[in-house]
A and B are shown apart, each in its own frame.
Chain A
Amino acid sequence: MHTQDIVFKFFDEKGGIPGNGLQEKLACHYLDIKIIDSMGIIEMVTLFEDSFKIRFEAEDLQSNEFQTVGGLIELIDRLRLPK
């Protein structure tokens, strides 16, 4: 399954990403607008690590990239690349 589909599916289950059109949704700072709380972040990280067989390092979790939906998808895609 495409990374974007899984990420969007997760956020849809949390009430959806606000924004009109794909670009706006990708630019969404989901942490700032509290789509998910702390427990939701833990749930999300665990789900994506298991689904994509990846490991987020501390630097990844605290990066600017991790803060937006689009950045998160790009980060996951990069971590999914064979080392």
Chain B
Amino acid sequence: MMKVCQDIICFPESAEIYPDRWVLMNVFTRDCLGIGPEVIAFLSGEEKSKKSTYRVWKIWRFSHMDGLLADPSRFCRDAGSWGEVINMTGETLQELLKEKCILISDKKEYRARFTQKKSILDKENFGNYHEQLGQHMMTIQRCSPAHWWLAQKFTSEVQEIRDDNLYGAVQKTFLKQWLPKKIKSGQKVLDLGCGPGVITKMIAQLGADVLGVDPNKDYIELAQKNPKNARFEARELDSPIALANIPSHSYDTVFMSDALLFYFVPYKREKPLSIRHLVEEIWRILKPGGAFLSLEPHPIFYLLPWLGENDRPFTIITEYLNSQWRINPPLQKMVKPFLEKGFVISDLDELSPASMFQKVDEKALAFANQFPLWLALEMQKLKC
């Protein structure tokens, strides 16, 4: 016996122009269909509403491929470009709705799929965001996740953060005014998980003596091509001795950007990183009065679907404390290890995008203006 899954929502995405086109979404699997309103009646099971054909548009798309901060809603937003309608019989429609987890026959079986993927090719289990991204890249795009990540955050020469997406509008804009306030010329700064070193070089340009470290040798090689007074070293950050040769009380600032999250939801499941050990090491390395600067995806709003109209956007939060899909930790989990060590939060910002972004993507701007995508924290090791 088929039942309508309780995890679904339905909304009129383009109601003004196409009042007969609705989006049907399973908010957990993030699968979507475009439908005519008769499909809603079909789901309600009303005998009177039964028709010989039902209109469906296959509008699901892995929208994250447009960029990590592109619209994460996973459907083709413009109903005008939904393509050809598919007219289906009730039987064919039922099969499709089952495939898309709109209808389910066994709730227990369906819930059992809310777990990690067994391999990059596992399509049965839903997995988390990174697993889904890896699978899409492997099976559909056939490209390297590392290369994709670089391309959507940085310019082609990997020297600057791109201006034409939210990385530029939010992160770069913020860093340009935040870093000079926090880091002074002559200070020693350690950039942990520096990637290809773009932000490390921004810090070096402030006159700081900065060392960028990252486990990815390719990124370090890229960073070293044009180091701009910054130093770079490849270090296995999953090793307990990764930072051991850095003297105690030797740095004014330790900086991490989009890297702390991997200490909570590891990129490599077989090699989990220890947040406790990391905090111990940051504490040891910092001078008394030194600061840990963190710029991480916002604990609540990162990668949530962009719903509603631009003048009143909304979203749906499907998980927070116990996550299956998300890849960044809740606020308490992220901050507590630092507080327990003795750090004190001395500054906090929930980042908003620069208004110039309106010209690039109005919806992205509307969403990011209401729901911050990053959280910046300054935590100090107070002088005793």
> Could you tell me the distance in whole angstroms from the C-beta of B266 to the nearest C-beta in chain A?
13
Which residues from chain A contact B120 at a C-beta distance below 8 Å? Answer: 38, 41-42
**Complex Cα–Cα for A32 and B119 (A):** 7
- Residue from the list B119, B134, B139 in contact with A31, Cβ < 8 A: B119
B241 at the interface (CB under 8 A from A): no
A58 at the interface (CB under 8 A from B): yes
SS class of chain B's interface: helix, strand, loop or mixed? loop
B51 at the interface (CB under 8 A from A): no
**From A67, which residue of chain B is reached at the shortest CB distance?**
B121
**From A30, which residue of chain B is reached at the shortest CB distance?**
B119
Say yes or no: A58 contacts B119, CB within 8 Å: no
Which residues from chain A contact B139 at a C-beta distance below 8 Å? Answer: 58, 61-62
Which residues from chain B contact A62 at a C-beta distance below 8 Å? Answer: 121, 123, 139
- Residue from the list B118, B121, B134, B270 in contact with A66, Cβ < 8 A: B121
> Could you tell me the distance in whole angstroms from the C-beta of B333 to the nearest C-beta in chain A?
26
B140 at the interface (CB under 8 A from A): yes
**Complex Cα–Cα for A37 and B120 (A):** 8
Number of B residues with CB within 8 Å of any CB on chain A: 11
**Complex Cα–Cα for A51 and B154 (A):** 35
Interface mask (B96-135 → A, CB under 8 Å = 1, otherwise 0)? 0000000000000000000000111111000000000010
**From A36, which residue of chain B is reached at the shortest CB distance?**
B119
B138 at the interface (CB under 8 A from A): yes
Say yes or no: B122 contacts A31, CB within 8 Å: yes
> Could you tell me the distance in whole angstroms from the C-beta of A70 to the nearest C-beta in chain B?
16
**Complex Cα–Cα for A2 and B2 (A):** 47
**From A56, which residue of chain B is reached at the shortest CB distance?**
B139
Say yes or no: A38 contacts B140, CB within 8 Å: no
Interface centre among A32, A38, A42, by most B CB within 10 Å?
A38
Say yes or no: B140 contacts A58, CB within 8 Å: yes
Interface mask (A12-56 → B, CB under 8 Å = 1, otherwise 0)? 000000000000000000011000011001100100000000000
**From B119, which residue of chain A is reached at the shortest CB distance?**
A31
9 CB contacts below 8 A, A to B, read A31-B122, A37-B270, A41-B120, A41-B138, A42-B120, A58-B139, A61-B138, A62-B123, A66-B121
With A31-B122, A66-B121 given, name 6 new contacts (CB 8 A). A32-B119, A38-B119, A38-B134, A58-B140, A62-B123, A67-B121
Which residues of B line the A interface, CB within 8 A?
Answer: 118-123, 134, 138-140, 270
Which residues of A line the B interface, CB within 8 A?
Answer: 31-32, 37-38, 41-42, 45, 58, 61-62, 66-67
